[in-house]
Amino acid sequence: MNIQQLYEFCLSKKGVTEHFPFDEDTLVFKVGGKMFCLTSLKEWEKGTPSLNLKCEPDRSQELRAEYEAIKPGYHMSKVHWNTIDFKSDVSNKMMCELITMSYDLVFKSLTKKSQNEIIDLEN
């Protein structure tokens, strides 16, 4: 997966917007105004890309034990966020599953009103 594929995959999900809320380097994808995916553009340019993705705490522990590339979230809550290194033991398919899991977790945390507004916008 390259940065363009990541960008297109994230934006293909309902209600997703892109932002640079922290600086000009950190690309953040949000749904309903809440973050579900963060990545450093400079790290992509250097060839060492990674993503910060939200995850259920128990599943985070399992993933960290199973994959060398999955670590506690860098500059994030170590309980609810993972950092996943690209070009590692996580396949592109698994990376997409982890992004979707993060998106779903954040989407489900939104109010029913917000969820319905996002669904209605896409229909």
Q: How many helices (H) and strands (E) does the chain have?
A: 5, 6
Other beta carbons within 10 Å of 22: 11
The pairing of beta strand 16-19 with beta strand 26-31? antiparallel
Residue pair 28/37 in contact (Cβ under 8 Å)? The answer is yes
pTM > 0.85: yes
Asked if the model's pLDDT at residue 96 lies above 70, the reply is yes
pLDDT of residue 77: 85
Q: What would the CATH number be for the domain defined by 3-116? A: 3.90.1150.30
% of the chain beyond a pLDDT of 90 = 84
pLDDT of residue 6: 96
The full set of domain ranges for the chain reads 3-116
Asked if the model's pLDDT at residue 121 lies above 90, the reply is no
Report d(CA 105, CA 59) in Å as an integer: 12
Residues 38, 41, 45, 46, CA torsion sign:
negative
